[in-house]
Each structure stands twice: as C-alpha cells, then as structure tokens.
Amino acid sequence: MKKTMIAAAVALGVASLSTQAMARDSIYIVGSSTVFPFSTAVAETFGRTTSFATPKVESTGSGGGLKLFCAGVGVDHPDITNASRRMKGSEFDTCQENGVKDITEVKIGFDGISIANSKAAGRYNLTLREIFLALAKDIPDGKGGFMANPNQTWHDVNPDFPSNKIEVLGPPPTSGTRDAFAELAMEGGCKTFPEIKALKKTDKSKYKAVCHGLREDGAYIEAGENDNLIVQKLIANHSALGIFGFSFLDQNGDKVQGSKIEGVEPTYDSISDGSYPISRSLYFYVKDAHVGTIPGIEEYIAEFTSEKAWGPEGYLADKGLIALPDAERASVAKSAKALTPMSKPE
Amino acid sequence: MTNPSTPSDSVTPRRAADIVNASLKRRYAKERRFRLIGAAAVGLGLTFVLLLFGDIISKGYTAFQQTYIQLPVTLSEDLIDPEGTRDPMTLARADYMTPIRQSLRQFFPEVKDRRTRRQLNSIISVGAPQLLGEEVVADPALVGTTHEYWILVDDDIDMLVKGYIDRNAPESDRRVNDQVIGWIDRLEQEGRVAKRFNTIFFTHGTSREPELAGIAGALMGSFYTLILALTLSFPIGVGAALYLEEFAPKNRWTDLIEVNINNLAAVPSIVFGLLGLAVFIGFFGVPRSTPLVAALVLTLMTLPIIIISSRAALKSVPPSIREAALGVGASPLQTQFHHVLPLAMPGMLTGTILGMAHALGETAPLLMIGMIAFIVDVPGGFTDPATVLPVQIFLWADSPERGFVERTSAAIMVLLAFLFLMNLAAVLLRRRFERRW
C-alpha cells in the first residue's frame, strides 16, 4: 500500500511538472504591497465584468516585483509589476539584458503618508524640520558635529508643543512606507540644516546615514507591518503618534486625525494637488512582449485607466488611491493604451 | 530508617527524631509553596490563553453574520432575458443591478438628483447582482416575477448596523454620512434590515470587498497542500525512521545523519522557504503560488519531526516482540512489518498529525514561494494558484477596510478550530491504540 502511495506521489509530481509548460490563461501580477490593494480591486472587477480569468496578484514589494519582472520573457515570468517608486536605471538595464525590451510605464496616482494621533488629543502642526528633530538618531549639535538626539518631549522640539513624551509608532525597515517616510519627511527636514546639506556634496553616505537614521532609543517604535494595529494603539494611547498610509487614515477618520505637515492637512485634495509634502507616486509596468500572448492584458490596462476605476470618483479613490490631475490622467491613459515603451529612467 | 553502622544514630536515637520533627513543618511548607507556584504558573498560562481566545472571539464572532436588506425586486423579462430562451449563460450575464436599484429607489421617492442617487446606490454591495444572478440561474422561473429578496449591503453599511461606526463622530470623519444613516434607520424601522448567517464567508474565495470575502479559497488551498504534504512526508518519514532505527549499521555516518536530522528540526522555517524558492522554483521550475510547491516545502519542514517521533515510537516497542518474532522464524523484514510497525503506528501517527498541524499554521516559508497572493478563484487542484489559511489571515490583517478586522478574527477562529480538531485526533488515536508494557 505504501508502495502505491509513493508511486502516486511521484507520478503526481511528474504530472504537475509537465503541466508547467502549458500556456497561462490568467494575467500574473507582482509587486509593491502599497499598490496591492488597488491592483487587486482592479483585478477583481476585471474578473467579474469581463470573460477573462481573474488575474493573480502577488505582493512581493516593489524591488522584489521588479526583479521577477525583469527576469525574462515567457509564461513563467510576470506580465505586470506594481511599484511604489519609479523603476531605477539599473533595474531597466537588467530588464534589457534579459530580453525584456519594451516596457510601458503607467503612473496611477499618489499615496500620502500621514502622521496621525487620537482624536481625543489635540492636532499637531509639524514642520519637516520638527519631524527630523523629533525622530532622527543624530542631530546637529550646532558646533559642526553631531550628537545623539537629546529631545525627550515634543516641548523640547518646539516650545509651543505640549510636553508629551515623543512616542511615534511606525513601520519597520522592511516596509516601503518606511523608505518613503525616510526619504520625504526625514530627508526633507534634514535638508533644512545648511551644514547637512553641504555634507551631501562631500560625503554622500554620511549624509544618507544622518538623514535616514531613525532613533533607536524607544522614541520611534517599530509597530510591525500591520497598520490596523498602529491605529488601535493610537486609540488606546492618546499621547502617541503613528505613521501609516493615507488609506488607513481615510478608513478610520472617526477615531484618528492626521497632523498638519508644514501647515497642510493630509486630505484627498491636498495630496492630489501636491501641497501635502509627504506623498509619493505609484506606478505599474507592463511587459509589452506579453500583450497578445497572455489574454486580457490590454483590457486590464483599460480597466485600470478607466474613469470609473482611477478617476477622483472611481472605486480606487474609495480604496484610498489619490487620483492624478485630470490632464495628466488623460495623457497617461493615452500612452498606456498605445503601449508606448518607456526610455531608461535616471 | 535507622542506620546501626553510624555511631551517632545509636547513641542519640531521640535527637534524630527531634530534628526530623522540627524540620517537618518547614518541609511541608516548602512543598505547599512549590505546589502554589506550579498552580500559579498554570493559571497564568491559562489566563493568557483565555485572554487571547476572548479577544479573538469577541472581535470575530460578528463576522459570522452579515447584514442584508429585504427588497421586493421585479425581474422583468425584457431586462433579464429579452429573447425568452432561459439560457443559463444569458441569465448569468444579465444586468441585475438595475432592478435592485429601482426597487431601493421606490422606498425613497424623494431622492431625485444624481449625487444623492449615487449615495443611495452605494448601500448595495457591488456583489449583490452576482448573488441574485446565481439565484435566478438556479431557478429560471423567477424571471418575470416580483419577489422579496435579501440583498447584500456594502461593508460600510454592515459595519454601521453592527455598531462599529461611531454615530456621534462629526459627519465628515465618518465613512457613512447622516443621510445614509437616516435611510438605513428607516429601512430598519420597516423591518427590512437583518443580520443573517454569513454563508458567503464559507463558500467564496477572497475579495477586496469585505462583504464578499470568504475563506473557501484559502481552506481548499490548505487542504490540497496538507494532503500532498502528508502523502509525501509520511511514507518517506516512516521509511527513514524504520531504516535508521532497525536496519542501519551504527557507525559514524549514521551518527552524522542523526545529528543532522535533529538540527533540521530546529532550523527556522523561513530557511525552508528560501530553499524551496532556490531549488523547487528556481531549479526544477515548479510553478509559484501552487499547493504543489507549498507541499514540497512543508514536506521538507515536517520530515525531521516525523522521523524523530517515528523513531521514538519504534524505540518504545519492547525488544521481546522482535526476539519472539525472529524466534518463531520470521525474517527481519517480516518482523518489522508484521509486528513492530503496527505496534509503533499510533505513536507515528500522533507525531505525523502534530507535524501536519504545525504545517497548517505555517506562514513564513510560504511567503517566499509566492503564496502571499490575491487569488479570487477557489483552487481546484494541486497546480492551481492558491493561498493558505494563515497567509489569508496575514493578508486580511493588513487590509485597510474595517470590515476585514472582524473577518481576520473569524478566519483565525476557523484555523484554530482545525488545529484543535487535528490535535484532538492525535490524542484520540493515542488513547485508542496505545499499548503499555
């Protein structure tokens, strides 16, 4: 009996290996976990409203997605990859080397990063410089050197603030949100110090270490990738602040409030027009060689770039995506439809 | 107790008893204290388990109910099946949203302008037409009639009815505005809003809409993965244990193998995921995100556990059984298969079930091999893209929609129920078949 079981297992393994060579009839999408909620919403609607199979969407992170995407052409490789940043020049080169020649870039909208606290407490009005002073590991000591961040309360950062302990819950280093926060908020605040700005030209790695380094003495608390958990902790702890994507703020607006950054509140409109400083663009990339081979790719792009999906009133806005301005949306949709290949990014 | 060879004892027998008597109280107190500490440790553990279960159940039990509104929907023949063929394809593809919206609008004749209408329409879930379509396909006689149907509502409305949305918060900060709350309250007064058992949760695959999301896809993915992992790991594990324990010569090589098996049992599971990515996907080209590759990785992970427990089970079979069998003329192979293996089987099965329960709850290695994916269709085989229960929980826990909070907890409850059943099976097997010598 055991013999037959082993034989069956082996046969099964061989059989499934051979099915691998078969063509794929559903779109295969990989990439950023930030774009994942939007991509899956489109995939589901696409599967429901057309005769094509529902695409498979894998959450691999932007970098991991581009690596898989650029690995080659063929049914084993993904057709589309989502990214919460632009493709890098080095990634584009890898794509070219592996035969992935024509790539269509589609910019889909913006994502804002909010710094929020409980509604039971007052709303903060922070500048990027204050965020840097509160959260950086090392700050300038005023004598040309650096010292370990001595600020313990918000009052130390700005005398106008209450003397609450600095307690900020945020994502761990593996998260794309953390990267974007470091790049947009921390570096933005860091650049306001002329001595650090000068450092960028002389010692780039030191500059990056100073600007992107977050405190490790307990003021910045890594709360895991789960943004829902951060929201719950903010509701319980009124003096803490939390860092998460705008969609979570949007869903929990009755419990938490987003701090003003440089005087601008994180709202749909302020992120859309670019006045809210901590926001980034989201993209997806299409492998042109797969269009026509894998059924439905053009229709998927059409669904994603339709007004009912990515428009300001569309269902992706309901999921927290901030739409592109009208004119840009129209031009991106046009070039996406024509599958215009991108040139090498910087 | 007395020891005549020790002189002190024989000289002062009474003093020894005094010493014992004097220390007796202290020794009893010591024992009482130890028992108390032990009981406190168990109590503390139980409290944490109860807290965990209490938290999960209190958050998740509402997910087993789903809000519906009852509407009289007229399925006019012109709209659903204009040619009158009753072809299942036509019936499935027909537009059911329009009749549902028309029916809802009858209750609120004051709603005229386009914006307010859109808001009224948003009460209905985007999945409602599909569900109505399935009913019509099952019973084509419904076309051309008016019936009261229970229509699925949007997740925001579901959260409102379940009391998860703070009605006192300022209107701009709520997902549901005052107008919609007014409409729902009116429907509720007419007895048209009800929470019914959430069958969708058990019959559908995942979805981006909480009200349409189910665990059937993840459950089937877990089922295929475990079945395959079991058929691969059990024969290999038992075979390896039998050979190592009963047939292999004891030398440096088998010692090395034994040490390595014990080491493998303690290797972090993510390492098996990396191995699976490099070897199965990278080298052998097994398709990503399928139960097949998941089963291969989990087989590698559970093999050491099964081998170790199987060897322990073989060791517990007394040598007299083997000697008796050999004594009456059985060959070594017959001895093992006819006598030793059946006696060791309950222990082996217990170890295997515990290994499988471990595999059922495993997430980390599966993240590396593409199981963390959005797959709507319920998998129908070993090579269909699939996800598994713990990964589904991970994905839902990370979704911003508030409806997923309760569904995450509900999925955890389902996973715990299966783990409980598997562990119960292990205990029962042991009780039923265990022999004591």
Q: Do residues A73 and A99 make contact, with C-beta atoms less than 8 angstroms apart?
A: yes
pLDDT (average), residues B9-32: 80
Beta bridge partners of A245: A113
Same domain? A240 vs A306: no
Percent of chain A at pLDDT > 90 equals 36
Give SS3 for A241.
strand
| Domain-located, residue A17 | no
Q: Distance between the two ends of chain B, CA-based, in angstroms?
A: 33
* Torsion sign, CA atoms B376, B381, B385, B391: positive
Q: What is the pLDDT of residue B176?
A: 86
Above 80 in pLDDT, residue A243? yes
Q: Per the structure, how many domains does chain A have?
A: 2
Same domain? A219 vs A119: yes
Residue type, A312: P
Contact B397 A226 (CB under 8 A): yes
Angle at A26 between CA A20 and CA A28, to 5 degrees: 80
Residue B405 CA, distance from chain mean position: 16
Contact B398 A228 (CB under 8 A): yes
Chain A interface disruption, residue of B206, B398, B406, most A CBs within 10 A: B398
From residue B205, how far is each of A10, A291, B414 by CA, in Å? Answer: 30, 28, 15
Q: Where are the beta strands (DSSP E) in B217-277?
A: none
Give B336's pLDDT tier (boundaries 50, 70, 90): very high
The C-alpha of B37 sits at a distance from chain A's nearest C-alpha, in angstroms, of: 33
Indicate the length of chain B as a whole number: 437
Percent of chain B at pLDDT > 90 equals 58
Residues of B in contact with A308 (CB under 8 A): none
Same domain? A316 vs A223: no
The C-alpha of A333 sits at a distance from chain B's nearest C-alpha, in angstroms, of: 24
Residue with tokens 């909208």: A109
Establish if A172 touches chain B: CB-CB under 8 angstroms. no
| Domain-located, residue A91 | yes
Same domain? A234 vs A262: yes
From residue B296, how far is each of A99, B214, B280, B319 by CA, in Å? Answer: 31, 26, 8, 35
Q: Where are the beta strands (DSSP E) in chain A?
A: 28-31, 56-58, 80-83, 103-118, 125-126, 138-140, 146-148, 168-170, 220-222, 241-245, 256-258, 260-261, 279-287
Contact B374 A53 (CB under 8 A): no
| Ranges A124-138, A307-321, B345-359: which has the least confidence | A307-321
Q: Distance between the two ends of chain A, CA-based, in angstroms?
A: 63
A 74-133: CB under 8 A from B: 76, 119
Same domain? A124 vs A221: yes
pLDDT (average), residues B37-58: 96
pLDDT (average), residues B357-377: 90
DSSP B59-114: HHGGGGEEEEEEEEEE--HHHH-TT----HHHHHHS--HHHHHHHHHHH-TT--SH
| Domain-located, residue A205 | yes
Q: What is the pLDDT of residue A10?
A: 53
Residue B140 DSSP label: G
The C-alpha of B402 sits at a distance from chain A's nearest C-alpha, in angstroms, of: 7
Give A225's pLDDT tier (boundaries 50, 70, 90): low
Residues 6+ apart with CB under 8 A from B59: B405, B406, B409
In degrees and rounded to multiples of 5, residue B148 shows phi and psi of -85, 120
Identity of the residue in B292, B373, B401 whose CB atom sits nearest the CB atom of A56: B373
Identity of the residue in A19, A40, A53 whose CB atom sits nearest the CB atom of B374: A40
Question: Least CA distance to A50: which residue of chain B?
Answer: B93
Beta bridge partners of B66: B196
Per-residue pLDDT reduced to its tens digit, A58-110: 988 888 899 999 999 988 899 999 998 889 899 999 999 999 999 999 999 99
Give B196's pLDDT tier (boundaries 50, 70, 90): very high
Above 60 in pLDDT, residue B9? no
DSSP A105-174: EEEEEEEEEEEEEETTSPPPEE-HHHHHHHHBSEEE-SSSSEEE----BHHHH-TTS---B--EEE--TT
More confident residue, A202 or B260: B260
- Record the tokens describing residue A123, joined without a space: 């709303």
Beta bridge partners of A107: A283
Same domain? A217 vs A101: no
In degrees and rounded to multiples of 5, residue A34 shows phi and psi of -75, -40
Give SS3 for A89.
helix
Question: Least CA distance to B205: which residue of chain A?
Answer: A44
Identity of the residue in B165, B289, B401 whose CB atom sits nearest the CB atom of A254: B165
pLDDT (average), residues B186-214: 92
Q: Do residues B308 and B357 make contact, with C-beta atoms less than 8 angstroms apart?
A: no
pLDDT (average), residues B198-212: 92
Distance CA A226, CA A215 (A): 20
Per-residue pLDDT reduced to its tens digit, A113-123: 999 999 888 88
DSSP B271-339: HHHHHHIIIIIIIS-PPTTSHHHHHHHHHHHHHHHHHHHHHHHHHTS-HHHHHHHHHTT--HHHIIIII
Closest CA to A37 of A45, A48, A25: A45
Residues 6+ apart with CB under 8 A from B102: B74
What's the whole-model pTM score?
A: 0.78
pLDDT (average), residues A28-48: 90
**Percentage helix, strand, coil, to 5, in chain A?**
40, 20, 40
**Which of these three, A279, A297, A315, is where a domain ends?**
A279
| Domain-located, residue A160 | yes
Establish if A337 touches chain B: CB-CB under 8 angstroms. no
Same domain? A259 vs A168: yes
Identity of the residue in B375, B383, B398 whose CB atom sits nearest the CB atom of A19: B383
Range of the domain at A202: 112-279
| Domain-located, residue A168 | yes
Q: What is the pLDDT of residue B57?
A: 94
The C-alpha of B171 sits at a distance from chain A's nearest C-alpha, in angstroms, of: 9
Q: Do residues B54 and B48 make contact, with C-beta atoms less than 8 angstroms apart?
A: no
Same domain? A271 vs A300: no
Same domain? A232 vs A133: yes
| Ranges B141-145, B172-176, B420-424: which has the least confidence | B172-176
| Domain-located, residue A290 | yes
Residue type, B330: A
| Domain-located, residue A201 | yes
Same domain? A101 vs A132: no
Axis-axis angle for helices B269-276, B291-315 (nearest 10): 130
Per-residue pLDDT reduced to its tens digit, B321-332: 999 999 999 999
Residue type, B345: M
Closest CA to B391 of B280, B289, B268, B299: B289
From residue B228, how far is each of B217, B251, B269, B388, B391 by CA, in Å? Answer: 17, 34, 18, 14, 18
Residues 6+ apart with CB under 8 A from A101: A95, A288, A289, A341
| Domain-located, residue A194 | yes
Residue A137 CA, distance from chain mean position: 24
Q: What is the pLDDT of residue A24?
A: 80
Above 50 in pLDDT, residue A214? yes
Percent of chain A at pLDDT > 70 equals 92
Same domain? A229 vs A309: no
CA Rg, chain B, in Å? Answer: 32
The C-alpha of A204 sits at a distance from chain B's nearest C-alpha, in angstroms, of: 33
**Which of these three, A279, A301, A322, is where a domain ends?**
A279
**Which of these three, A261, A279, A297, is where a domain ends?**
A279
Same domain? A219 vs A78: no
Q: What is the pLDDT of residue A141?
A: 82
CA Rg, chain A, in Å? Answer: 23
In degrees and rounded to multiples of 5, residue A222 shows phi and psi of -75, 115
On average, the pLDDT of chain B sits at: 89
Indicate the length of chain A as a whole number: 346
Q: What is the pLDDT of residue A6?
A: 54
Identity of the residue in A9, A57, A248 whose CB atom sits nearest the CB atom of B373: A57
Distance CA B7, CA B289 (A): 80
State whether ipTM is beyond 0.90: no
Above 60 in pLDDT, residue B11? no
Residues 6+ apart with CB under 8 A from A165: A152, A153, A219, A239
Give A178's pLDDT tier (boundaries 50, 70, 90): confident
pLDDT (average), residues A146-168: 89
Check which CATH number belongs to the domain holding A69 and give it.
3.40.190.10
Chain A interface disruption, residue of B374, B382, B408, most A CBs within 10 A: B374
Give SS3 for A296.
coil
Residues of A in contact with B294 (CB under 8 A): none
Residues of A in contact with B373 (CB under 8 A): 56-59
The C-alpha of B377 sits at a distance from chain A's nearest C-alpha, in angstroms, of: 7
On average, the pLDDT of chain A sits at: 86
Above 60 in pLDDT, residue A16? no
Contact A227 B288 (CB under 8 A): no
